[in-house]
Amino acid sequence: MCQLRILVLLSLVLLSLLSLSVRANTRIAILDFELSDVTLAPGIAAEIERTASIKAMLEGELKKAGYIIIAIDLAAQHQANAGFGYLFNHNDVAAELARQAGADYVLVGRLHKPSFLFAYLMGHLIKASDGGLIENYVVETKGGERKLTLKAVETLTEKIDYNLEKTYSPPPPASKSASLQLNK
């Protein structure tokens, strides 16, 4: 009887390890985020910099959840992009970029800034094999501070992971002293 329990336990451990390795094989490509700034002072350097930082933040959060990040050649992305918003609105073209790079999914993103007070992280998660839209995401962020943008990226990661593997756990809120260090 004791040997049977040990055998069952070992079997369960092996099955758990196998399921973890299957999850870790999901490959996601993330295209550079576009800035859609419709404020009275569009395209200021701080917003361009914030928009450029989103991709790296998102890749970092998805890696923490066990996803494999697939790089898409920037020249190929620019060549496929026929103009502002083209890849955001053409899932088939974005999916082809992802397929060529060996990704299972591609996220096409945009930072939409209708006001100086808030902005929206927007993303389309597209299945590379057929160009099908998995989900359209919108996450609001208030202000332009790095920590607020990171919080919005964490929320976006949660939403992406919910549609795929359900393995991501966002970091707990920072303590007051840690957030003071982050602002420096």
Domain assignment present for 72: yes
Give the per-residue pLDDT at 22.
46
Give the per-residue pLDDT at 176.
47
Q: What CATH number is attached to the domain comprising 79?
A: 3.40.50.10070
Could you tell me the pTM of the whole model?
0.79
CB of 97 within 8 A of CB of 106?
A: yes
**Rg, C-alpha atoms of the chain:** 19
Give the per-residue pLDDT at 152.
95
Taking only the tens place, the pLDDT of each residue in 6-43 is: 555 555 555 555 554 444 589 999 999 999 999 998 88
Domain assignment present for 175: no
Domain assignment present for 17: no
Provide the domain limits for residue 84: 29-170
* Domains contained in the chain, number: 1
Give the per-residue pLDDT at 12.
56
Give the per-residue pLDDT at 54.
97
Domain assignment present for 66: yes
User: Residues of the chain whose pLDDT is less than 70?
Assistant: 1-24, 174-184
Buried b (16+ CB within 10 A) or exposed e, 63-83: eebbbeebebeeeebeebbee
Domain assignment present for 7: no
Domain assignment present for 6: no
